[in-house]
Structure formats: C-alpha cells, structure tokens
C-alpha cells in the first residue's frame, strides 16, 4: 500500500492544484471571495511543497490557469471576478479531489498537533519522535474510523510535513533537535479551517504513548 502510494504521488501532480481549490471551496460552503481562495491556495502550495512540485514564483499564474480549467469543466463559476462558486452539478468531481487531498491534510494536521503536545509536556523535539508519534496517532484515528485513508501513514509524507514547517520557519533546526518558533501557532487557524480532526482523541492517545514509553524506559 505504501509503495503504491509513493508512485501514485507522481500522478497526483496532475490534479493537486484543482484539489487545493476544491478543498478550500468545500470548507467555505462551496463559495468564497477569490482573494481568500488565493490566500489559502498559496498557503497550501507552501505547506505541500515537499510532497508536490510547484514552480517558484508561478503561484498567481497557476491559480488563474487552474480556475480557467475548472470553469471549462463547469466545475466552478466566477462571479464578477470577485467570487468563486463551486458548481453543484459536479459533486463527484469534488469528492474525488477532496479524496486526493485529505490524506495529506490529515498527516500535516496530526504532525502539527503532535509537535504542540510534545512541547507542552517538555520532551525534546526530534524528527524521529514526531513521526513515530504521528504514525501512532493516525493508526488510532483509523481504528476509530475518524479517518479512512492509510496513505496518511506514509513516512515520506510525515517527514515532509516536518520539513515543510522548517521551511516555513515555524520550526528551527538546532544540533539534531527542533525548536518550535512562536510563529508556529500562526498556521493553526488555517489548518483548523481546512481539516477537522478530533484533537482530544489525538491528545489522549499521545498521553498514553508517552506514559507507556516512560514506563518502558524505567525497566
């Protein structure tokens, strides 16, 4: 499954931009201002830049071309060049595009929550610990049927999430460990808007993992 997902990512490059726009429109009840849509589009481009290839400096052009492409498919409608609305007749297309993005958003949101929790309990941040805990949390979410895609378990994607936060300068590398920058909190609203996860389930499971790890360390 993980091996297949590695190769499928190359094909997903063809639909990642329409998928980003679909995710944002869905979260804004199928319609939002074009400027707001663009802000979220560029945010997700930056966030996902380790999983997908986006040409530097081409965000504006790519955004406009993607909208034109979706308009030609009658998937979206631009109103007075200020608002963008999703066409209600293309539910299946939007469902497919959401399915493309969800595993990545789940992985990134879980990594974000894991980092916050590790810092809150005073443990040292390392890429290995973050990825280990994130995988365990996603497994728990899968067992509880809070998420449905095993693709979120990908080590590549979880590592890419950490590296994306470093590139965004909200995490800093320091002699093999990571330091959380105060700006780390600045992306919380965007992530919460784009993907909902049961934060309490994640927090409770992390507490269990940490208690279990500490107990084993004492043996």
**pLDDT confidence of residue 9:** 58
pLDDT at 7: 44
Q: What is the pTM of this model?
A: 0.90
Domains and their CATH numbers in the chain: 1-96 (1.10.10), 102-217 (1.10.10)
Helices (H), the chain: 2-12, 16-27, 34-47, 59-72, 91-120, 127-143, 155-167, 188-194, 199-218
Instruction: Using a pLDDT cut of 90, give the percent of the chain over it.
Output: 65
Euclidean distance between CA atoms 86 and 107, whole angstroms: 26
Q: Residue 1 — very low, low, confident or very high, per pLDDT cuts 50/70/90?
A: very low
* Cα–Cα distance for residue pair 62/65, rounded to 1 Å: 5
Confidence of residue 101 (pLDDT cuts 50, 70, 90): very high
Neighbours of 122 (CB within 10 A): 6
Please say if the pLDDT value at position 71 is more than 80: yes
**Segment holding 83, helix H or strand E:** strand 83-86
Residue 90 — pLDDT band, cuts 50, 70, 90? Answer: confident
């Amino acid at each position: 499954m993980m091996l297949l997902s590695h190769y499928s990512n190359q094909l997903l490059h063809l639909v990642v931009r329409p998928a980003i726009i679909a995710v944002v429109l869905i979260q804004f009840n199928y319609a939002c201002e074009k400027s707001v849509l663009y802000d979220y589009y560029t945010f997700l481009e930056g966030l996902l830049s380790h999983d997908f290839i986006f040409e530097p400096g081409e965000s504006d052009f790519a955004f406009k071309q993607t909208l034109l492409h979706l308009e030609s498919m009658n998937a979206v409608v631009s109103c007075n060049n200020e608002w963008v609305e999703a066409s209600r007749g293309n539910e299946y297309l939007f469902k497919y595009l959401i399915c493309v993005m969800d595993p990545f958003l789940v992985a990134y949101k879980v990594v974000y929550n894991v980092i916050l929790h590790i810092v809150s309990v005073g443990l040292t941040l390392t890429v290995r610990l973050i990825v280990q805990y994130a995988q365990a949390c996603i497994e728990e979410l899968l067992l509880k049927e809070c998420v449905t895609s095993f693709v979120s378990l990908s080590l590549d994607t979880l590592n890419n999430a950490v590296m994306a936060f470093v590139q965004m300068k909200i995490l800093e590398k320091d002699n093999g460990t990571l330091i959380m920058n105060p700006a780390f909190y600045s992306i919380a609203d965007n992530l919460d808007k784009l993907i909902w996860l049961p934060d309490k389930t994640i927090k409770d499971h992390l507490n269990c993992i940490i208690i279990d790890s500490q107990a084993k360390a004492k043996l």
